Amino acid sequence: MTPGASVGGDEQIRLFLALRLPDAVLDGVARWQRERLVGVRVMPREHLHVTLAFLGHRPAGELESIVGALRNAAGGAGEIRFTPVRYRETRSVGMLVLEDDGGHAALLAGDVQERLERLGVYRLEGRPWLPHLTVARWRERPRLRLDPPPVGTFVPSDAAAYLSRLHPAGARYEVLESVALGG
């Protein structure tokens, strides 16, 4: 476990759990964003991640049990391997959809989400988990037709609990704690 930013007391904090990406992948995606995503708000390199669960506002006192759930699920995770397979747009974001080779990331996401639900800090979503990287945000959909960046298949570096602070220029993320994958 690696500590990051600190929070305390009964403060309400905005949290999510995610997989972090290796530097070479972050570099490749950031280069692709600069070259291909013109006229939109590009997600900064340091904000690129694969969300496992978004918890929203939670009391800071719950952080230890939330990270414990992540640590326990991550410790039992099989080897996660992602390959970017397509670019997709929704009403407000652009994303790279990832192939979850072997399905280990989906198993981890399901395990984490079930553990969080048992803690009473998360409610399972009604749709299947989609492994993806959000690469851009916008007010008006640009309708781009793009191939994904040529970063190849990769293994996430670790998993982390993130603090999300809302800001007029967009949310700012800080890693609160990171945990190893697969023990």
Whole-number pLDDT of residue 135: 98
Whole-number pLDDT of residue 7: 54
What are the angstrom distances between the C-alpha of 82 and each of 37, 39, 75, 153? 22, 28, 18, 5
Whole-number pLDDT of residue 168: 83
Calculate what percentage of the chain has a pLDDT beyond 70: 95
Whole-number pLDDT of residue 167: 84
Whole-number pLDDT of residue 9: 57
Q: How do 93-101 and 81-89 pair as beta strands? A: antiparallel
Q: What is the pTM assigned to this prediction? A: 0.91
- Residue stretches of the chain with pLDDT short of 50: 1-4, 183
